[in-house]
Structure 1
Amino acid sequence: MTQSVRTIPPETTACDVATLFADHDIGSAVVVEPETSEYIGIVTKTDIMQQVAAGVDINSVRVTAFLSTPLVTIASTEDIHAAATLMKEHSIKRLPVTGDGELVGILTTTDLTHYLPRLRNAILRGRDDLAAQ
């Protein structure tokens, strides 16, 4: 997972989010209510592209108009299988990770694809170890 998670307030414009994404080479930001610190939802590059394609004025439209909600998260204590299952069930590509109620990272489908070869090798080593016994 990526440990740095960008958060934005709900009044942020689509244009400001697009700039944030470009400046920091990221693909999503979690929308947080500043007064309550409540996680409202998530905005992704795809969401911004859909707004542009629809001809929306991205300088004035606020993320509350198109964010994905409710925010699906996973506890940092969960395993990779639980995360992959949750992502599949909700058809999401980015899964914020929480620890003690705080955002501690974000897991992406790209992260999963980088991890799969290691998981496969570990499974094969375990199978080989069992066969050798």
Structure 2
Amino acid sequence: MIDQSVADVMMESVRTVTAETTASDVARLFADHDIGSAVVVDPGSGELLGIVTESDVMHQVAIDADVATVAVGSFMSEHLVTIDSSESIHEAAAMMKEHSIRRLPVVDDGALVGILTTTNLTHYLPRLRNAVLRTRGELVGQ
């Protein structure tokens, strides 16, 4: 089986916010960039503090929080699961399943270098399948 690394599939462009960013500002960021999450970082050290998702923001709306003032640090997911860019996509998929997450920040030496989502994996699977078939000689005409 051909095994690709996370670096081959991840998106290098990952948006970050600070814990002080308001829910309304992060919602605007999501809309402006057509994304569903942002990694929360400490602005001084660059330390990864957590992740905030569209679902997190929607929950704030549902409980009638003042989204103009509530900071993402008060409702972000603090237990941040990350993966090294050199790991296999199979390991990444297993981690996502084990932790029931759809977004996996990618790090190298503790520094954020990208993000891997279930959408990335879904779009990559047909290419991986074709590569496997090519190595087996089962894909003709391509």
- TM-score, normalized by the shorter chain, greater than 0.5: yes
Please give the alpha-carbon distance, in whole angstroms, between the structure 2 residues aligned to 1:84 and 1:93: 9
Corresponding residue for residue 4 of structure 2: none
In the TM superposition, residue 127 of structure 1 has moved relative to its aligned partner by 3.8
Describe the SS at the equivalent of 2:135.
Answer: helix
Deviations 1:36-89 (A, max 9, x none): 221110001111111111211111111111101221110011111011111111
Corresponding residue for residue 7 of structure 2: none
In the TM superposition, residue 100 of structure 1 has moved relative to its aligned partner by 2.8
Corresponding residue for residue 19 of structure 1: 28
Please give the alpha-carbon distance, in whole angstroms, between the structure 1 residues aligned to 2:121 and 2:57: 24
Please give the alpha-carbon distance, in whole angstroms, between the structure 2 residues aligned to 1:37 and 1:105: 14
Describe the SS at the equivalent of 1:17.
Answer: helix
Which piece of structure 1 moves more, 84-93 or 48-57?
Answer: 48-57
The one of 112, 119, 130 aligned to 2:128: 119
Corresponding residue for residue 119 of structure 2: 110
Please give the alpha-carbon distance, in whole angstroms, between the structure 2 residues aligned to 1:16 and 1:67: 14
Q: How many residues align?
A: 129
Structure 1 unaligned blocks of 5 or more: none
Please give the alpha-carbon distance, in whole angstroms, between the structure 2 residues aligned to 1:118 and 1:5: 23
Normalising by the residue count of structure 1, what TM-score does the alignment of the two structures yield? 0.89
Please give the alpha-carbon distance, in whole angstroms, between the structure 1 residues aligned to 2:49 and 2:124: 29
The one of 90, 97, 100 aligned to 1:81: 90
The Cα RMSD (Å) is: 1.4
Runs of 4+ residues over 4 Å off in structure 1: none
Corresponding residue for residue 108 of structure 2: 99
Q: How does 1:26-105 map to 2 (within 5 A)?
A: 26-105=35-114
